[in-house]
Structure formats: structure tokens, C-alpha cells
Amino acid sequence: MQPFIFDALPTRVVFGSGTLSQLKAEATRLGTTRALILTTPNQATTGMQVGEALGDLFGAVFSGAVMHTPTHVTEEALVALRQTGADLVVSIGGGSTIGLGKALALRTGVNQLVIPTTYAGSEMTPILGQTDDGLKTTVRNLAVLPETVIYDVDLTMSLPTALSATSGINAIAHAVEALYAKDRNPIISMIAEEGIRSLATSLPSIRAKSYDQDARKRALYGAWLCGYCLGSVGMALHHKLCHTLGGSFGLPHSETHTVILPHAVAYNSQAAPEAMSAISRAIGASDAANGLYDLISGLGADQALSLIGMPEDGIERAADIAVASPYWNPRPIEREALRDLIARAYVGKRPSL
């Protein structure tokens, strides 16, 4: 075994069913005097319900979170934070809301308590992706790592099956890239394979029966593990492409990850054989890239960038942006190969090995 370095992330996790009832106790544990609730516009009512659970610690709800964390929305939330005098932000929802909480923490140092309602996994990472003038950039800083995460399976029971699928594949992507990350280690690789397996077995069950509580538990557990992987080691081609496509063309986050993942895996297949073997074991397939493509197909998710809002004339631009400042990747980033990858993903073809 090769020497390695493992840094344990210090987030406190409360996992189970009905765990939202522990919200006020967890907020008090962080020394909270006033909390600002963050939600998307569609979850404003849920935000008020969470506020009621906080009792006298509740300050206000800011319901303006949107995907890709645009900086102008963060500026609006900063005003609400200062007006409320909050020393805690409670982010309930998926990656959009969690990203906004992280952006506030980066700028002010405010504590974060996160209540995920999807499988995005952002709550377990010290990574913030934010967009300014159509360009999405990422920051890795422990200052944006939430102090506490409350996983309540009950809050995911009504997550639509379509969103469950893409959100779950987004989580799988975190673990996939952890398996071939430059700074990978055997601990994270073990967690990554278990996370992929948990989601790959539970997502089809959720599609067949949305209110299958056991499947929902396994999916949320898998999302936690996959998110932990993303927070612990570096990212590579897949995440660079998704950040480029999402930030530059306004594509939906989890849907973009779902389309790109099999193609990014195929691109790296020859350069990362051990990772491919682990992925294949976890999903029960003979080939990692095509196995992921088939898994996604079975979930009924869109598999073409053209179906989620990508303009055809954006293929060349996306390739240019992705190679301008590439992440480390096990296979060198080649502009024409990358362009072909994006073109195949645009029409939804099978990944090319």
C-alpha cells in the first residue's frame, strides 16, 4: 500500500427519520442567538415551518436562493443577514440553497446548519461554486464547510422520482471522481464505492415505488457518503465540464451531471483502470461508462444536453472554456477529444471508449 494523507472533515452529522425535531437543540449547541432561514422561492413555506421549529431563535426567511449561486443573489442575502443580526444560517433544500449558505459563510464567517432535501451532497464539502457574469468558479475553503448537517429521511419522501434520479446520479459523480482523484486514498475509495453502490441499488427502487422508505434511507445514506468523498479529495474532468456548462449556459445542475457522467468516465477509462473496476463492482456492470449510461436510462432521466437547454452552437465555446483552466485529470485534457465528448453528450449518444 502506498503512503497517503487523510484529512477528516469536522462536520457533525445527525442522520435518521424524524431528526428535524432536533433542530433547535442543534442550533443551541452552536451558540445561536438568531437564525436566518435560506430557501428557494418554491420552498418559502417550508422555511417558515422550519422557523417555527426554532422558536425564539428564528429571525427571518430569505427565499431567493437559485442555482449556480449568482453573486448578486448573495449580495441580497447579505443584506438580510445583517438586518436580521443572525449568527446562524439554516439552509434547507438542495445545492442552490446550500450554496448560498456557503457564500454567506465565506464572506462573514456565519455558522451553517444544513437540512438537505435532495441527494446533491454539497452539504458535506468545503467547496463553493458561484457564478458572476456567466462564469462559474469554485472555491475550496474550510470556511464554507457547514458545522452541522441534519439528514431527515422523512423530508426526502416526497422528492419527485425524476429529481431523485438526477440528484442521485449527481451524488454518484462525486464518488466516481474521488476514485481517480490525484489525492485519492484507500479510505475515501472504500467510502466512494459504498456510496455508489447504495445509490445505484436504491434509485431504481425509488423509481418503481417513490415512497419506499428503506430505499429512501439508502439513497440519503449514499448521498452523504458521496458528498463526503467530494469534500475530501480533488475533482477532475467531470466536475470541470459540468461547472463550465452550468455556469456558461444556465443548465440545471443535477441534470447536467447526469448527462455528462458516463462520457467523462469513458474519457478516463483507460487512464484509471482501478477506479473503473470499483465503479463496475458498485453498479453491477461489466463496463463502468456504459453501465452508468444504462443505469441512467433505466431511471428515465434525460441523457442529452440538447434536452436540458444546451444550444448546439455552444459546443465549441464549452470546449474552449473547459481547456482554458483545466482541473487535474488522470488523462490529459485534449481539446478535440473534449469537443467530441461534448458533441456526443449533446445528442445523447452512448459514451465512446
Q: pLDDT tens digits for 79-117?
A: 999 999 999 999 999 989 999 999 999 999 999 999 999
Q: State mean pLDDT over 331-349.
A: 96
Position 331 confidence tier, pLDDT thresholds 50, 70, 90: very high
Amino acid at 165: A
Amino acid at 108: T
Position 67 confidence tier, pLDDT thresholds 50, 70, 90: confident
137 compared with 278, residue with greater pLDDT: 278
Compute CA 50 distance to the chain's CA centroid, rounded to the nearest angstrom: 22
pLDDT at 202: 98
**Burial (CB count <10 Å: 0-12, 13-18, 19+), residue 194:** middle
Q: pLDDT tens digits for 187-203?
A: 999 999 999 999 999 99
pLDDT > 90: percent of the chain: 87
Position 124 confidence tier, pLDDT thresholds 50, 70, 90: very high
pLDDT > 70: percent of the chain: 100
CA atoms of 263 and 213, how far apart (whole Å): 32
- Helix or strand run (H / E) with residue 113: strand 111-116
Mean residue pLDDT of the chain comes to 95
Q: State mean pLDDT over 142-149.
A: 97
Q: pLDDT tens digits for 2-43?
A: 788 888 889 999 999 999 999 999 999 999 999 999 999 999
Q: State mean pLDDT over 199-215.
A: 97
Question: Could you give the 3-state DSSP secondary structure of residue 214?
Answer: helix
CA atoms of 322 and 335, how far apart (whole Å): 8
pLDDT of residue 179 exceeding 90: yes
Position 134 confidence tier, pLDDT thresholds 50, 70, 90: confident
pLDDT at 111: 98
pLDDT at 7: 83
Comparing 13-17, 61-65, 223-227, 243-247, the range with the smallest average pLDDT is: 243-247
Say which residues have a Cβ less than 8 Å from residue 348's Cβ, sequence separation at least 6. Answer: 259, 302, 303, 304, 305, 306, 307
pLDDT of residue 228 exceeding 90: yes
pLDDT at 197: 98
pLDDT at 265: 98
pLDDT at 68: 86
Residues paired with 135 in a beta bridge: 132
pLDDT of residue 243 exceeding 80: yes
Position 293 confidence tier, pLDDT thresholds 50, 70, 90: very high
Q: Domains along the chain?
A: 12-156 (3.40.50.1970), 161-347 (1.20.1090.10)
pLDDT at 33: 98
pLDDT of residue 352 exceeding 90: no
